[in-house]
Amino acid sequence: MKSQFEVFLRLKPSNNQSQNAMQYQIYQNKRLQVLLPKHVKFGMINNSRDNLDFNFTHVFDQKASQEHVFTNVTTPVINSFLDGYNATIFAYGQTGSGKTYTMSGAETWQLRGVIPRALSYIFDEIDKRTKFEYKIYISFMEIYNENAYDLLEKRHLETPLEQWNKIALFEDDQNNIHLKNLSIHQCNNEQEGIDLLMMGNFIRQVSSTPMNQSSSRSHCIFTVTLEGCDTTSETCFVSKLHLVDLAGSERISKSQVEGNLLNEAKYINLSLTYLEQVIIALNERMKGANRQHIPYRNSLMTTLLKDSLGGNCKTVMIATISSENDNIEESLSTLRFSQRVGQLENEIRRNEKVDLEAVVKRLEQEKLALIRELEQYQRGGTSTSSNKKIQQQQQTLLPQSSGMPISQKEVQEKVELYLNERIPLLDVKSVEETQKCFEAMKDLYNTRMKEYVTELTFISEKLQKYDEILTRKKEQSSFLEQKENSSPEIEVYRRNESPQIQFKKRPNQ
Ligand code: ADP
Ligand code: MG
């Protein structure tokens, strides 16, 4: 299923109402028209333009409340996440434009942002969906200078950044990314989720690291993993929701920064530049260009968000801009970036899997039923109704014949590979093939049993011989012993021994 990226825009309330305010118009809550101030107009290639238009799924003006933003942006994405699809909501914009305010919120409960509201919504919804059993897990990480750290590791409160374990990335054969050193916390209710969010934000702010002054220079990813199992069937799904607060997107000029700051600026700009490159590459591929390679691996953030950007994920961006002319160039850059993101689409699918526990439970029940059936049969009964039912079930599950006859030898080889654990599953295509597999197993079993019996007979014969030799040796040695040990103490001991045994009380006397 195709899923177009959705891009929302939020304008931060202006601090002052002076001439410094950005001049703009919003049309039908979907289009923003920016009236360009003179200095920007002259800086543009086509300086005849007085205004620029940008389209969005929805534009939130300066007065939009946190609740309004949440309801419009998040509800459809989270519903899709609850149905088993991966989802990502990321906030992008320059420092101070309202990313953290939008994602986490301000101090008061009323001003809480997307993440705490999402947690409430998720727990409310799963309570309603009684057909499923759910488990929720949370992790929270920060990416700073191309290194990722766990924000839910309590030890980080007492140790400096240098001693923190970096999160390590591994990619498996199917290009799935696995993370080491990232804790995952099972979460049973909204409050536990909010406690984890607060703890992560607290660790981010107060830890004795350079980050405490520089949260704007790091990316944060809050991930909710949902495991849902259908109680009426044997299917389960696992979906992930990434809630991302990106680092400030401003282009810091090198002259303004030095030392550690320069390093940070380089990394932040680089990872956001790489994010742009990924978006451009994806755009080109969408427009038909022959682009096989998408440069996800250039930065940690794009590697971690690979699925959100060009994979199996419903993705939403919230662009935040300030409403002052002082920041117009950064705002225009955010607006342009958002237009490119808005053109993308992902191919999404439900992450379904079979619930192995439920299958095992069912198979065990079936096994018990079969054992009972067999016992009945051995007692003299013939094919019962449930026996017939099982036969019918087998016939409906598999076709009578696969069309391509498979030789007994091929079946035997396949069965041998399976029994030697060289292949994980025994793939059968027809009832006929299943029967051949059973015959092959029976043959193998009989051959092996014969081999074992021969071997066992051989071993027991040998053991018997050893036994004979041992008995003979014992007899010889006891004869020698008697001869050598005819000293008086031993005689005494032996004489004393028998009365003791004779006088031993019997328990019931
Ligand atoms: P960022 O994370 O993008 O650097 P913040 O979210 O920290 O920016 O916002 C900077 C300041 O502006 C904060 O004090 C925040 O409370 C305030 N702020 C941001 N957006 C809004 C908004 N929509 N309404 C009210 N205050 C806001
Ligand atoms: Mg912030």
Cα dihedral across residues 274, 279, 285, 287: positive or negative: negative
Instruction: Tell me the two tokens of residue 38.
Output: 């003179």
What atom in ligand 1 is closest to the CA of residue 91? 3
Distance CA 200, CA 499 (A): 81
Q: Is the CB of 12 under 6 A from ligand 1?
A: yes
What atom in ligand 1 is closest to the CA of residue 62? 23
What one-letter code names the amino acid at 340? R
Instruction: Tell me the two tokens of residue 303.
Output: 């590697």
Going from the Cα of 169 to the center of ligand 1, the distance in angstroms, rounded, reads 32
Ligand 1 mutation target, pool 14, 101, 115, 214, most atoms within 8 A of CB = 101
Ligand 1 mutation target, pool 9, 11, 12, most atoms within 8 A of CB = 12
Residue 245 pairs in a beta bridge with 91, 220
Going from the Cα of 232 to the center of ligand 2, the distance in angstroms, rounded, reads 44
The answer to whether residues 304 and 177 touch, using CB atoms and an 8 Å cutoff, is yes
Give the dihedral of Cα atoms 16, 22, 28, 31; nearest 10 deg.
Answer: -140
What atom in ligand 1 is closest to the CA of residue 97? 3
For atom 22 of ligand 1, the residue with the nearest CA is 12
Q: List, as residue ranges, the binding site.
A: 93-100
Three-state DSSP string of 202-227: HHHHHCCCHHHHCHHHCEEEEEEEEE
With 0-12 / 13-18 / 19 or more C-beta atoms within 10 angstroms meaning exposed / middle / buried, residue 467 is exposed
Q: Is the CB of 160 under 6 A from ligand 1?
A: no
With 0-12 / 13-18 / 19 or more C-beta atoms within 10 angstroms meaning exposed / middle / buried, residue 17 is exposed
Ligand nearest to the CA of 95: 1
Listed in sequence order, the residues at least 6 apart from 286 whose beta carbon sits closer than 8 Å to its beta carbon are 343, 344, 345
- 509 residues of the chain, pLDDT tens digit each: 888 889 999 999 987 666 688 999 999 999 999 998 877 665 555 556 788 999 999 999 999 999 999 999 989 999 999 999 999 999 999 989 999 999 999 989 999 999 999 999 999 999 999 889 999 999 999 998 888 999 999 888 888 777 888 999 888 887 788 899 999 999 999 999 999 999 998 888 765 444 445 567 789 999 999 999 988 877 889 999 999 999 888 876 544 556 666 666 666 667 888 888 888 888 888 888 787 788 888 888 899 888 888 888 989 999 999 999 888 989 999 999 999 898 888 888 888 876 667 677 777 777 788 888 777 777 765 555 555 555 555 555 555 555 666 788 888 888 888 888 888 888 888 888 888 888 888 888 888 888 878 878 887 787 887 778 788 877 777 766 665 554 443 333 333 333 333 333 344 43
Q: Is the pTM of this model over 0.75?
A: no
